[in-house]
């Protein structure tokens, strides 16, 4: 291996940054430059894959935020829960101080119960009507501000 600065033969060349260029040099010439940065040592490809991994880890963390919403199949859940208890719609209605027509509308999904009524139904039927969903807002924002692999490549070459 020849030193890329002075051209002498070196057994163990040192990676040095000299005037912004990475060169393999002898010990003596390496003192003219600064030691190559981590990115320059590992090479662009690995650097980029590391960056991309860190980015996707970060996105995963953010996506873990959850919110509770009414399960979309609430009508069937309530109907099945009521039938398991062997109650008529009228019986269920009177247990939670509602009208039979309200129960019928909820089971048909014509009417979406509000939180207070959901809790009453959950308690009396011993079912869960709320489900946790992941909030994916962060995906949107990463699209707006995020860099693509191509962006990184461009920066790497610059
Ligand atoms: Zn040299």
pLDDT digits (tens, 9 = 90+) for 141-150: 444 455 566 6
Rounded average pLDDT over 22-30: 84
Kindly give the distance from the C-alpha atom of residue 76 to the centroid of ligand 1, in angstroms, as a whole number: 80
Closest C-alpha among 106, 110, 111 to residue 92: 106
Kindly give the distance from the C-alpha atom of residue 22 to the centroid of ligand 1, in angstroms, as a whole number: 13
Whether 130 has a pLDDT exceeding 70, the answer reads: yes
Rounded average pLDDT over 79-89: 97
Kindly give the distance from the C-alpha atom of residue 37 to the centroid of ligand 1, in angstroms, as a whole number: 20
Ranked by mean pLDDT, which of 19-23, 31-35, 100-104 comes out on top? 100-104
Alpha carbons 118 and 70: distance in angstroms, whole number: 8
Alpha carbons 12 and 27: distance in angstroms, whole number: 9
Kindly give the distance from the C-alpha atom of residue 42 to the centroid of ligand 1, in angstroms, as a whole number: 22
Q: Which one-letter DSSP state was computed for residue 111?
A: S
Catalogue all structural domains in the chain, each as residue range(s) with its CATH number: 1-42 (no CATH), 67-134 (1.10.260.40)
Rounded average pLDDT over 75-100: 97
Pairing relation of β-strands 34-35 and 21-25?
A: unpaired
Kindly give the distance from the C-alpha atom of residue 31 to the centroid of ligand 1, in angstroms, as a whole number: 9
pTM (two decimals): 0.47
Of the two residues 104 and 136, the one the predictor is more confident about is 104
Closest C-alpha among 51, 26, 49, 21 to residue 36: 21
Of the two residues 39 and 12, the one the predictor is more confident about is 12
């Amino acid at each position: 291996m020849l030193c890329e600065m002075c051209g002498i033969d070196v057994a163990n060349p040192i990676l040095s940054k000299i005037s912004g260029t990475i060169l393999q040099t002898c010990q003596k010439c390496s003192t003219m430059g600064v030691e190559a940065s981590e990115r320059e040592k590992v090479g662009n490809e690995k650097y980029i894959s590391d960056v991309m991994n860190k980015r996707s880890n970060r996105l995963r963390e953010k996506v873990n935020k959850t919110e509770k919403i009414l399960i979309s199949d609430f009508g069937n859940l309530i109907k099945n829960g009521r039938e398991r208890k062997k109650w008529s719609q009228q019986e269920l209605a009177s247990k939670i101080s509602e009208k039979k027509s309200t129960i019928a509308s909820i089971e048909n999904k014509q009417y979406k119960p509000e939180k207070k009524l959901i809790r009453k139904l959950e308690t009396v039927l011993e079912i869960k009507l709320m489900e946790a969903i992941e909030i994916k807002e962060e995906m949107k924002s990463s699209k707006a501000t995020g860099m693509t692999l191509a962006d990184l490549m461009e920066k790497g070459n610059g």
